[in-house]
Amino acid sequence: MSDIKKVVLAYSGGLDTSVIVRWLQDTYNCEVVTFTADLGQGEEVEPARAKAEALGVKEIYIEDLREEFVRDFVFPMFRANTVYEGEYLLGTSIARPLISKYLIDIANETGADAISHGATGKGNDQVRFELGAYALKPGVHVIAPWREWDLNSREKLLAYCAERDIPVEMKKGKSPYSMDANLLHISYEGMVLEDPWAEAEEDMWRWSVSPEKAPDTPTYIELTYEKGDIVAIDGEALKPHEVLAKLNKVGGDNGIGRLDIVENRYVGMKSRGCYETPGGTIMLRAHRGIESITLDREVAHLKDSLMPRYAEVIYNGYWWSPEREAMQALIDQTQIHVNGVVRLKLYKGNVDVVGRKSDDSLFDEKIATFEEDQGAYDQKDAAGFIKLNALRLRIAAGKGRKPG
């Protein structure tokens, strides 16, 4: 007899998690509570309620988390200019700690004995969900069906549904790819993408036109920053999730944000995936633009040196770790003076910073000018500076340690 009486399941309403509801009921003879998060994935989440009810679920949670997602997770990550392995903007990774947080909150509220998720046993998401859950509730029991059952193919899942009268919605035109979407991105895996030599099919992409089909005239936008976060677009004040939604639209219209990479998963394998992150691509370029005039040189370089480690921590699922919180405190401290406006030119897949201004700018035109600087900078000072910095090189060369 199982001691699991109630389980909170991260529930999308799709095939996998619908099977999991019934599997949990059958295997553990337990009550299932479903939690569906609206993270801006672009599809209605309310239909998940009817699907859960049809499976006998009594406690159903559907939460609109779009603002919290962008404000408390996406924006803090972008203050660090975060990129994993030089390319990936971490669209899937950054959503998982928020889902874990709500799984634990709902488990505490409903008195559940365990939580469950639909992540497969091969990917990173199982790690992210569970690391987050254990950090927030150390003794929580986690049930990962993909690591327990033998329903390891779509055919077996469909057969299970047929045997148990689980309704399966077969959508016309449904993408054959394994997809994950939220306000920051859409990811695509599987099918032709499992061959890293094969080019992604054009009709796969959902949010963006190809650069070839983007408008022949550029689009200009201005982003206003306060303490490292975008607060307005073209002078219009917007909430964080509204900022990202608007940037996704204008970026996608201009063919911005497509990515095709092979990444190194935390669980040890390489994986090929395609991503659409139009708004995030714009945000990254713009943030570096405003930092270029507002950050001290050594602070900027310190941030850049920390970024790969910070990105790895998020990718691997350690958002709720002490090292991420410590790095975040430093990063947020650097953003106090990251205020101002960045002007961007969007054109056929490209994002160019074409203007930046700030009351906190460290750019001094009097010093930087190639014209008469009225004595603001004395070039003669450079001679001593250069000799002092060359001292160790001169000593080594004098000892015969010449380079090459």
Catalytic residue among 175, 178, 292, 361: 178
String of b and e for 88-123 (b: at least 16 CB within 10 Å)? bbbbbbbbbbbbbbbbbbbbeebebbbbbbbbeeeb
Task: Decide if 203 is catalytic.
Answer: no
Give the HSE-up count for residue 316: Cα atoms under 13 Å, Cβ half-sphere: 15
Closest residue by Cα to residue 354 from 215, 216, 222, 211: 222
Task: Decide if 361 is catalytic.
Answer: no
**What residues are paired with 263 via a beta bridge?**
271
**What residues are paired with 355 via a beta bridge?**
343
Q: Are 142 and 133 in contact (CB under 8 A)?
A: yes
Closest residue by Cα to residue 128 from 273, 261, 276, 313: 313
Catalytic residue among 79, 96, 272, 356: 96
CA distances to 48, 166, 175, 368 from 172, rounded to whole Å, are 18, 19, 9, 61
SS3 readout for 332-400: HHHCCCCCEEEEEEEECCEEEEEEEECCCCCCCHHHHCCCCCCCCCCCCHHHHHHHHHHHHHHHHHHCC
Catalytic residue among 125, 208, 258, 324: 125
Catalytic residue among 16, 332, 360, 373: 16
Number of H helices, E strands in the chain: 13, 14
Residues annotated as part of the active site: 16, 96, 125, 178
